[in-house]
Amino acid sequence: MAPHDTDNLRDRPIRTFGRTGGRALSPRQQNLLDTQLDRWRLPAPVLQGLDPRSLFQGARAVWLEIGFGGGEHLVAQAAAHPDIGFIGCEPFVEGVAKALAGIEDHQLTNVRLWPDDARLLLDAFAPASIERAFILFPDPWPKRRQQKRRLVQPEFVSALRRVLAPGGQVRFATDVASYADEALLTFLRQGGLNWTAEAADDWRRPPSDHVTTRYETKKLGDCAPVWYDFTRT
């Protein structure tokens, strides 16, 4: 793969995130993309009705992270839960390379990567096949004319709910106030998802098992991080 050749990391035009190429990759990152991506990525196209549990031998559950950024959260969670299969979705090439480095550094075997639009997976996966999903600080598209490109839309929530097992959990976080308001309404209006908050601190403080990422430390949003946990009925 050439350093800026990302065509084989995408299957169709991207709608909910910007360009997937950024700064130049380090020699190690480029080598990992060239030699290790095929080992860890899900085959494309994904067969309809795929049960993601079939990708992990002996895993008791499968968790999904949509937009894993630099991979810190994905890698740390996978290292902490070796009995769970993790699928990470991230279209940004540098993020995929960083996740591959984390997989190698921690000698993980319970991670699979999808360097493309997560909605393609949601549409293909078998119903009730994911026990937990993370959507942490997705692209906020802060300008009003851009907000139709935000990931959390009614169709997306419906697709996510379909693949969640009964009692399955969704965690959403953002540091953009307008997205926090919009996302909460969108999740609740679709039905079938219960917001678990019982007090203000439940959405003001990160959950005890959260792994802080470099993005969070930059404080690029317009509000303190907001955390929403939902369970599927």
Q: How far is CA 178 from CA 93, 174, 218, in A?
A: 28, 9, 19
Active site residue 139: yes
Q: Which of 11, 123, 139, 229 is catalytic?
A: 139
Q: Pairing state of beta strands 84-89 and 193-195?
A: unpaired
| DSSP assignment letter at 3 | T
Hey, what amino acid is at 189?
Answer: R
Angle between helices 93-105 and 72-80 (to 10 degrees): 30
DSSP letter for each residue of 12-74: S---SS--S--SPPPHHHHHHHHHHHHHHBPPSSPPTTB-GGGGSTT-SEEEEEE--TTSHHH
Other C-beta atoms within 10 Å of 188: how many?
14
Contact 110, 84 (CB under 8 A): yes
Q: How far is CA 112 from CA 22, 62, 197, in A?
A: 23, 10, 31
231 phi/psi in degrees, rounded to 5: -125, 145
Contact 228, 183 (CB under 8 A): yes
Hey, what amino acid is at 114?
Answer: W
Active site residues: 139
